[in-house]
Structure 1
């Protein structure tokens, strides 16, 4: 039987869709064990809702959704459904809490995807919402391509949702065309006639998914779809780690998700998806707390708050100093001291010349062993100091 849930409204509720939209990334295919492991990690760190699959994909997918239900009996789980009675009945049989009934609402998709009249689609939607409610499911109406629909189109769907008992609307920027200012205006306008739960589903085609999610929250959204490391169709969705940290950093809103566990979760999902994490990926990339520039390193050595917006310790990380073309004397002195070498001023100039030569040709920062080699090559009798 479907599982009913009750809600206490916090500032924002994350509905993570790594296991649905995230897995729709081209080339991504999780095994059952990987799906369970990802779901368990998300649940254990406090992500309150998980969208876990698509029953219409067939018996194997349904088995995996059922395995997730068994592995996480107390979690709030959602599946994505077409306007098909079979999908909805399957969701209830699998013990889901929520069903997202997806409906294209823009003229573009209504005409060129469904090829049906708006009145016909709305009648079918009402029937399917009523079916889901009769089976004990909570209902989210997924407004596909909402960002290309008119406010009048949204109002018609909202009125139908209120009449039929749907608890949530999903505002989907399906093709990722919104900017934060437009997102704020549209969600705020939608809030004038939709009083219940409102979920933002942002795609990252313009690199604005996180910003649009935050704008939607400021305008009155109660829920946000995210994916770990921003997996998802095309350019992906709003990354979980970015939304969690941005809410805390920008709005002082703590979702009680332990941020120090996010890097390990991101690493696990990256490996399971066969994707690498970009070196400068916000928050979890290898180099995002790494400093080379002389002025920045000098300021950081004097007081880390000079060039620290996000505390790396909150993510279980720390600042790292590297040497390269843009390094200054204080950085060279500090890094070599950490290696156990005390440099005089004239030695620093010689080292800098070698480092800049290396960086231009190797197109990377020298490693510790390479720095030791430079020192040994330049200075035959190094004066060692205690580490």
Structure 2
């Protein structure tokens, strides 16, 4: 390696695959060292988006029109708050570049447009031509990638990465170094010297280089007392303290292979990274990326909702379903059609008495998703009454009481259905017809615009 670079990797002749943690014939292991890292939530945190890069890789290619519409949604949800701060794009095809130009023409401050390239000098020329001020650069860090995929050793990999980072710095472009597969990498033997070298080059160029810690296989663990390389707290605090990287230059990128993507992202914030990387609805390779909507809710819990327009997320869901024939799990938090649905009679009874008992926040106001009541054999009088009050938006003295004899008549009809062998929920159409039959004409003729949506 050139003498210009102060920090040398610990070169090894054979790849260190951490087989003690990742025996391929078994489930990966959790190693505990009981070393607790203090929390260090930055004063300012934000979200970045990779829907048009990592997200698009897992779906059919987006058209320019679709990319522009989704970019508009990101801007509208952010509402000029700078919480959704950046969105990254591919530059390889003519369609990719046209989409970037169209988005650039919007002139939005947020999300800022960045790009993604391999650590390759030819790729870097695309960034310069598109006049993009910041670009992600793929820098594979684990020996799985360095030895087994790239066919290099650590010294050669570091030289390759630093050369391209230098190209960006020389051109006045901020390099965002994507530390791929960091949760299987030799942190002190390769990651730390690489990051310190690039950071020093950035200081000489008067540009703060950025670093994205990429949990490529979702192996990161969010809790304290876990050993490297899997510990999110140790990775983030290590990049800050060992490498001197400020929080504003640290970002986390996760995958959901082990159901930890949201908690890992939040953990990265809590231990000092200012930024977490997401996609709309969590689309992405294999099990997907951290869902943007989930991290917006996490952000609101940590910092407050501010002016973020969370109610637009429902529109995004409808757009995905329509444009990409994309199915959203009905039970998926915040975006599923049944995420705040209740069927149990005892729950419906609680909602009748005081909605916050079984709804932790006003989902109608904040997410444009009112509480949904489904009626089945277990709903009882409370469930039927809650459905009527919710469906017809009855408030105050207009609300129906579960002791109303007309509710009992509807329940008798429903009980008979299940006694006769029915095993499906009662549909909204059926409940509307029953309401028409047993309640006043005035109630039965109330607006029913939501019927198809509820069904």
Q: Same fold (TM over 0.5)?
A: yes
Matched, 1:129 2:162: no
Conserved 8 A contact 1:247-1:254: yes
Q: Residue 199 of structure 2 is aligned with which of 157, 162, 168? A: 162
- From the superposition, tell whether residues 253 and 371 of structure 1 become closer, same or farther in structure 2 (CA, over 3 Å): closer
Which residue number in structure 2 is paired with residue 19 of structure 1? 52
2:52 aligns to what SS in structure 1? coil
Question: What TM-score, normalized to structure 2?
Answer: 0.75
Structure 1 residue 159: deviation in Å? Answer: 0.7
Matched, 1:190 2:223: no
**Which segment drifts farther, 305-314 or 13-22?**
305-314
Structure 1 residue 349: deviation in Å? Answer: 5.0
Q: Deviations over 1:145-182 (max 9, x none)?
A: 01111221221122122122152110000011223223
Structure 1 residue 266: deviation in Å? Answer: 3.0
Conserved 8 A contact 1:172-1:200: yes
- From the superposition, tell whether residues 169 and 200 of structure 1 become closer, same or farther in structure 2 (CA, over 3 Å): same
Q: Residue 319 of structure 2 is aligned with which of 260, 268, 288? A: 268
Written as runs of structure 1 = structure 2, the 5 A alignment for 1:182-221 is: 182-194=231-243, 195-196=245-246, 197-221=249-273
Written as runs of structure 1 = structure 2, the 5 A alignment for 1:281-296 is: 281-296=332-347
Q: Residue 219 of structure 2 is aligned with which of 177, 181, 186? A: 177
Structure 1: give runs of 5+ residues left out of the alignment: 1-8
2:123 aligns to what SS in structure 1? helix
Matched, 1:302 2:353: yes
Which residue number in structure 2 is paired with residue 384 of structure 1? 440
Which residue number in structure 1 is paired with residue 68 of structure 2? 36
Matched, 1:369 2:434: no
**Which segment drifts farther, 253-262 or 159-168?**
253-262
- From the superposition, tell whether residues 44 and 157 of structure 1 become closer, same or farther in structure 2 (CA, over 3 Å): same
- From the superposition, tell whether residues 335 and 386 of structure 1 become closer, same or farther in structure 2 (CA, over 3 Å): farther
Please provide the CA RMSD for this pair.
2.6
2:212 aligns to what SS in structure 1? strand
**Which segment drifts farther, 294-303 or 174-183?**
174-183
Structure 1 residue 65: deviation in Å? Answer: 2.3
2:53 aligns to what SS in structure 1? coil
Which residue number in structure 1 is paired with residue 29 of structure 2? none
Structure 1 residue 64: deviation in Å? Answer: 2.7
Written as runs of structure 1 = structure 2, the 5 A alignment for 1:70-89 is: 70-72=105-107, 74-75=109-110, 76-89=112-125
Q: Residue 59 of structure 1 is aligned with which of 94, 113, 116? A: 94
1:180 aligns to what SS in structure 2? coil
Conserved 8 A contact 1:151-1:190: no
Conserved 8 A contact 2:183-2:215: yes
**Which segment drifts farther, 252-261 or 233-242?**
252-261
Q: Deviations over 1:108-141 (max 9, x none)?
A: 1111111111111111211111111122211110
1:332 aligns to what SS in structure 2? helix
Q: Deviations over 1:339-367 (max 9, x none)?
A: 799535753652341354589523xx222
Which residue number in structure 1 is paired with residue 85 of structure 2? 49
Which residue number in structure 2 is paired with residue 138 of structure 1? 174
CA distance in 1 between partners of 2:386 and 2:413 (Å) = 13
Which residue number in structure 1 is paired with residue 305 of structure 2? 254
Residue-pair matches, total: 370
Question: What TM-score, normalized to structure 1?
Answer: 0.87
CA distance in 2 between partners of 1:131 and 1:282 (Å) = 43
Structure 1 residue 232: deviation in Å? Answer: 0.7
Structure 2: give runs of 5+ residues left out of the alignment: 1-41, 203-207, 224-230, 393-398, 444-455
